[in-house]
Every structure is written in structure tokens, then in C-alpha cells.
Amino acid sequence: MGMVGGGKDAFIGAIHRIAAHMDGLIEISCGALSIHPDIARESGEMLFLPPERTYLTFEEMIEKESKMPADKRIDFITIVTPNFAHYAPAAMALDHGFNVIVEKPMTFTLQEAKDLKKKLEESGKLLCLTHTYSGYPMVKQARAMVADGVFGKTRKIVVEYYQGWLSRLSEREGNAQASWRTDPKKSGKAGAMGDIGTHAAHLAEYISGSKITKLCADLNIMVPGRALDDDGNVLLKFENEAAGVLIASQVAAGEENNLKIKLYGENGGLEWAQQEPNTLLVKWLDKPTQIYRAGNNYPNTLSSFATENTRTPGGHPEGYLEAFANIYRNFAHTLMAKMEGKEPTKEMLDFPGIEDGVRGMAFIENVVASGNSKEKWTDFVV
């Protein structure tokens, strides 16, 4: 794997590397780790990369790597730059025959997302989008139970994502993360909705197996002086007539990364929260709530999607990094299967991809449009 972005001054690059390393399947072999040459070089050293594969631009990396012999060449590149700098390296990588892993949101605009989709289809390569939360085994269990119909028709979905770190105008106090994420030129049309709202929307669609069809958004700038939404509340309609609510805030003072989802169907429902991700509450209309736990596979309890994404027995908590690593591992297994001419299993194929990326960008466009509209409902158009 080669990495674009993720130098020593970045946050998410280090997470990607841990995720990639965890299962001993993936090695980082080269990188264009920073647009600042010094940082690029120092980061390469820190990662034990050979100097000749420590590039200063992604163009150079893709160009040179594509000319290396097949057995030395990287199989895929991972793009962990700010949002505005996703499309160009992704497109170039596909053009040069590399598979791609890209941070979410997939691109800067919906149009770029559609272009990338076209390019991907032409290339025949794989693209993986790191919507981390769908990598948790109990999220996969939730999805499997809804898909199996155990709760009947879904009626209600409530997804909440609270952070507090933008409660003050930190972007003016030298916080680099805050700085680009609140800048429309780097982040895109939406702030909180792009950064964490897309995660919440993806999680709701992933678990429910149902798509958002309409939305009604109240987007707010709670901290004066900020250019993008830092808070929002959105009413949702899903294609199966379920109603929903999506709440995302980066000014929820005192919250760290509080992501929760509840879903209710005709016969029961479920509740999952990232803080204790190995637990899934399974609620029933006519019997006591059950506590499903990752890694604890009682007969006829957990789906293969949950068990194959767990590394430890029940009671040994896994977390965010393992969820991240599940996305990398499933992608790697799919890639290996493909390279060996085998059919990947449905469990291997269970990682977010281009469709999720396009819908994520559409969510941003639609939620911003609804935020600006006086009408109650805005159709979710892609």
C-alpha cells in the first residue's frame, strides 16, 4: 500500500496505518505523505520507508510506482488528505491501474463523486471508502437482523452523533484539524454534516438496509464567526416509509464522539452506541430485551458478518481501530481473492464503496439544500 497524506502532523493517517497493519496482511511501502517536503521526508523516515519511495507529490508516487515491476509495485493507494484533495489522486490512481482506499467524504462535490464512479467502472478496480462505523461487528449484526426481518417492517430510526470539540472558535486558535474542517474551501459545502453527519447517515442506511428519500434539515452555526454548520437536526424519510431523525453536532460541549443509533420495527428494535461498541441491545415487543455481545456466539445468535469481523472471544473488548481494520481486512481479502481469480465471499465484500461515496456526497448536497429551503421536505436526489 502507498499512502497519500497522513504525515506526522496529521490525525487520520496514523489511524489508517494501524488499521492496515493490525492483521499482518498489509504493508505500507511508499507514500506521498505531505505537501510540505520536510514533513514528507521526516514522516517517511518515521515509517521506515526507503527514501526512494518517499515521494513529495502523489503524482510522482503514482507515476513511478506504476512503472515498477508487478511483484514490487503496491496494490493500492490510501488517500487520507483533506476532502478537497481526494478526487485527483483517486482518479489518477484508478487511471494507472491501482485500487483505492479513500477517506470519507469521498470527494469534494457530488459531481466529482459521480465522475469517480464512472472512472471506477471503466477501470475494473476496487474502491473502498472508510466509513469506519460500519466496520463494528455489532453494527453488522444489527444490519443482519434487520435484513433477516426479525423486527418486521422498520418504522423509526434515530441516529445521533455528538462532539464538543468545536464549541469554541478553535480554528482561530491554531487547531489544524479545526482549521481545515471549518473552511469551505477545504471541507466542502457542509461542516458538521459533512464531517460526522455523513457517518450518521451512512450508518442509518447501512443498518436499516433502506435509503433516505426525503429530508428536512435545520443547520446551524452556533459559534459566531464560523462559516459552515457546526450543528444540525434533520428529519428523515426512508424508502420503506420509516421516519427518522439525524442529529449531528460538533458544539455539544462535553461530548467526545458520541454516536448512537436506535431502530424500531413492528416487533422490536435495537440500540447501539459507539462508546460500548461490543454490545447490541435487542428489544422485543413481547419478551425481555436481550444483550447481544460481540465474540460471544451462542447457538443461532450472531450472523457470520459479526463473527468474521471479531478477533477475540467475548468479553475482550474490541474498538474503533478494530472496526477500521475490518474495513481494511475485508478490502484486502476481496483484493486477494480477485488477484487469485477467486470469488470473494459476501462477508469479504462487506466494506463501503463507491455507491456509499456517491450517496454520502449527495447527502451533503441535499442536506445543505434543505437547510436553505423554506419547504418542509426536500427530495434526496443523487
State which residue, 90 or 166, has the beta carbon closest to a second copy. 166
Q: How far is the CB of 8 from a second copy (least distance, A)?
A: 13
State which residue, 21 or 186, has the beta carbon closest to a second copy. 21
Q: How far is the CB of 248 from a second copy (least distance, A)?
A: 11
- The sign of the CA dihedral 356, 362, 367, 370 is negative
Place of cell 444483550: 291
Determine if residue 40 is left, alpha or beta; phi over 0 gives left, psi from -120 to 50 gives alpha, anything else beta: alpha
State which residue, 262 or 333, has the beta carbon closest to a second copy. 262
Q: How far is the CB of 216 from a second copy (least distance, A)?
A: 6
State which residue, 292 or 363, has the beta carbon closest to a second copy. 292
Q: How far is the CB of 128 from a second copy (least distance, A)?
A: 20
Contact 258, 160 (CB under 8 A): yes
Chain-centre distance for alpha carbon 143: 16
Residue 305 to residues 141, 151, 249, 265, 354: CA-CA distances in angstroms?
7, 18, 30, 21, 20
State which residue, 346 or 374, has the beta carbon closest to a second copy. 374
Q: How far is the CB of 52 from a second copy (least distance, A)?
A: 19
Q: How far is the CB of 245 from a second copy (least distance, A)?
A: 5
Cell numbers for 141: 449484526
State which residue, 58 or 264, has the beta carbon closest to a second copy. 264
Residues 6 or more apart from 222 whose CB is under 8 A from it?
A: 230, 231, 249, 251
Backbone phi and psi for residue 129, each to the nearest 5 degrees, phi listed first: -115, 130
State which residue, 262 or 359, has the beta carbon closest to a second copy. 262
Residue 339 CB burial class (10 angstroms; 0-12, 13-18, ≥19): exposed
Q: How far is the CB of 55 from a second copy (least distance, A)?
A: 19
DSSP 8-state symbol, 53: G
Distance CA 157, CA 116 (A): 30
Distance CA 339, CA 236 (A): 41
